[in-house]
Amino acid sequence: MKVIKNCKIFHHDKGLSNFNQDIIYDEHKILKIKNSSNEIYENLEQKDAEGRIVFPGLIDIHVHFREPGQIDKEDISSGSNAAARGGFTTVVMMPNTYPALDSVEEIEAISEKIINSKINIFVSPCISKGREGKELVEFEKIIERFENIVFGFSDDGDFFDNQNLLAKALNILGKNFPIMQHPELLNSHNYNGAINEGKLSSKFNLIGRPISAELNAVKSNLNILKNNSGWIHFQHLSTMDAIKEIKAFKSNNSKVTSEVTPHHLFFDEEELFEKLDSQLKVNPPIRTIDDKNYCLKSLKEGIVNVIASDHAPHNHEDKNKEFEDCMSGISWLENAFGFVSKKEDYKFSVGKMSYLPGKIFEKCFDKKIGIVQEGYASDFFIANDHDWTLNKENLYSKSKNYIFKTDKQGEIKLHGEPIMTICSGKEIYNNGEIK
């Protein structure tokens, strides 16, 4: 057993504890929380938090670790290190790798790295073989072999729009394994669109990705879900119109969850209006001010459930090209908590990045994560309660496509700096050092 002494605990609902407390834990769970005193804990490994804040370990249900196939950009080890530095203890890894994670054999090739990782890693295998949307993967075989690490199924990066196969998949997977959809119903013209369709695409004479693509994808999926069992999770929502459809559906149905990214919450196309910054190229694209504001409003109201980063590392060569030619995606794991906390507050970030994603995991796996509370997993991090900035030269991710500044906002300020991360009772990060 171990103990963290003299800490203030942040609760998603109650806020910050009034008194310094001690957390006694082992590798499985938090055993006891008590007010700090002069008590001597004999035979316990001890650390003194010196009044700093303890937060529940962050949970990200949408990350890209690029292994196999693009390990020059990221791999399971470097992605785990970046997560630990950022206070994340649980992540869900997407399957758009090379080869795609569409079979027992492909998952088996990386399963040892996943199971032995510093953090809790889950994988979302493909819905269809090769992510081609033509033939379903062998769900039962994958689940039977990897039941403890499979979190839903996704053709991430591509919208799975085969309606007959989607209905079949929903009924096979039922309520415990969501279909995780990238909701953009694109055609051959706008599939490679680089920017939000509208005044921005017109100004720079670029093919745009229309708002209607997200709306039509969501409507199509909801229509199928209405008449079938199962669960759909919509990834990185970015538009007011699509979220309104989900809101109407959820008023009578609970078979839908969704996420929004930090960049769709706090950036809008005005960031790009004077200069196209390749660091802000993402799919779906940064949208209008109204869309951004509605995403935030809907998250606060519970229409959208959680924040997920869509951590998408790219190397310098792929990211630093002309806007229309560069790769889409932003890295987030090392600064997401600080960014969201600076824009809003701890209650908001903890609720949407720990507690509520933890509730999804509790539904799927009966795992108790996302709260610093007796009986819950010993996953948490200690943070300094101050403003800080991310150092571009001192990253654990292999890629450096984090957002450090924008023309509109200047240098990106963060608040709440993780200085120690503990996962399954083990210290995995401490003051700049990965353990």
Residue 182 CA to residue 192 CA, distance in Å, equals 15
> Terminus-to-terminus CA distance in the chain, angstroms?
18
Give 396's contacts (C-beta < 8 A, 6+ positions apart): 78, 81, 82, 84, 85, 334, 434
Residue 351 CA to residue 34 CA, distance in Å, equals 23
Amino acid at 206: L
Residue 225 CA to residue 417 CA, distance in Å, equals 41
Residue 101 CA to residue 315 CA, distance in Å, equals 22
- CA 170-173-179 angle, 5° bins: 60
DSSP annotation string for 110-123: HHHHHHTSSSEEEE
Q: How many whole angstroms from its chain centre is CA 253?
A: 24
- Can you tell me whether residue 248 is helix, strand or coil? helix
DSSP β-ladder status, 256-260 and 232-234: parallel
Task: Specify the DSSP element, H or E, that contains 256.
Answer: strand 256-260
CA dihedral 174, 307, 296, 329 (to 10 degrees): -110
**Distances from the Cα of 202 to the Cαs of 209, 212, 273, 285, in angstroms?**
12, 17, 11, 15
> Which among 42, 60, 27 is positioned nearest to 336, based on CA atoms?
60
Catalytic residue check, 310: yes
Q: Which of 156, 310, 318, 379 is labelled catalytic? A: 310
DSSP annotation string for 64-78: ---TTT-TTT--HHH
Residues labelled catalytic? 310
